[in-house]
Amino acid sequence: MKEIGEKLKNARESIGVSIEEVSEDLKISPKQIIDIENGNVESFQDIFNLKYFIRDYAKYLGLDKEQIVDDFNEYLFDYTSKLSLADIKNESRNKKEDNKIKSPYTIERKSEKLYQNFIYIAIVVLLVTIIFLIYTILTNDKNEDNLLGGFYEFAEQNYFN
């Protein structure tokens, strides 16, 4: 990364542009420009933002932005391939999440569970109501004085005659 930063710094100095001018034109802080030129990757939280800063900076300086981005991608590949297997295993052990694959299709959302619970409760209430009505109709023959029997008599007298 230092080589990329040196290319950018040399190009900037050769055309006589100050860090403040670059900062103002590209809307990048002067500290970020200095960090790019010094190869301080650790000062950037997001490596993708750094990649785009480098691309825009190279384009601004009139350099071959594609070549600079390719150099940066090679640097990233070299940097990430130097991670030891032990470091990778330790990092995976330190994760508190379970090892399930998470995707938008397999993640259960709380709202979906709430909706499912509502449906189950509605089905149970409906079944209990149906069972109560069937029981009442069957016992209606034995006891004409019950509430539904009276309702049926009222309905027959007022609506069916």
What residue segments make up the domains of the chain, in order of their start? 2-84, 110-159
- Per CATH, the number for 2-84 is 1.10.260.40
Structure-block tokens of residue 143: 């006891």
- Among the ranges given (70-79, 88-97, 110-119), the one the predictor scored with the smallest mean pLDDT: 88-97
pLDDT in tens, 5-35: 889 999 989 999 899 998 899 898 999 989 8
In this predicted structure, the answer to whether residue 138 has a pLDDT above a threshold of 60 is: yes
pLDDT in tens, 38-64: 988 888 888 888 888 899 989 988 988
Q: What is the pLDDT of residue 128?
A: 96
Residues 104-130 have a mean pLDDT of: 80
Structure-block tokens of residue 6: 């040196």
Query: Of the candidates 3, 49, 7, which has an alpha carbon nearest to the alpha carbon of residue 29?
Result: 49
Q: Global pTM? A: 0.49
Q: Where are the alpha helices (DSSP H) in the chain?
A: 2-15, 19-26, 30-38, 47-61, 65-81, 85-94, 110-140, 147-159
Give the percent of the chain with pLDDT over 90: 18
Provide the mean pLDDT of the chain: 79
